[in-house]
Amino acid sequence: MPFVFTPCPIPGLFEIQPKIFGDRRGYFLECYSQRDFYAAGLTLPFVQDNQSMSGKGTLRGLHFQKTHPQGKLVWAIQGEVFDVAVDIRPDSPTRGKWHGVFLSDEKRNQFYIPPGFAHGFLALTEQVVFAYKCTDFYYPEDEGGIIWNDPAIGITWPDLGMEYNLSDKDKNLPSFSPVIAG
């Protein structure tokens, strides 16, 4: 199998390592194979691919869709990020818990996040090109979010020795408590 699927401490999350075929010319890898993902139990179909570019210190998130939750397969095409998923599933015993993975163009690893999680990442290198495969379409009117530094969640973001760069929207997201209440 060209992928190694490693379950993370929160059920449903997986770090994925594709098999890399390299030689003097460069490398080749499969980013996604429906056959292999389905064999690993990850059977939601992907319907949308996204890509973003961010500079060092950019923090995006924590985002989720309220009534159209998206599962995501994410990876860094260029650079390195600290990627975070927060469990917001209503009946989950790990609700409010987070897990983070360092994703880089060197390791070529991926992170699978099922529907029911808030997602965000911090760009750790000068330039990051980040890819997302999503299991549902993006609906701007359906977007929700949680403030990145909510003490109730307690994410340990890497210290870059600089202030993080956030959008105005992300700076003003609510804390986790109102999100789970309603």
Known catalytic residues are 63, 132
The dihedral built from the CA positions of residue 143, 147, 152 and 158, taken in this order, carries a sign that is positive
Q: Which residue has the tokens 């202030």?
A: 163
Tokens of 127: 């330039």
9 and 99 Cβ atoms separated by less than 8 Å = yes
Q: How far apart are CA 94 and CA 6, in angstroms?
A: 18
Task: Output b/e per residue, 143-169; b: 16+ Cβ within 10 A.
Answer: ebbbbbebeebebeeeeeeeebebeee
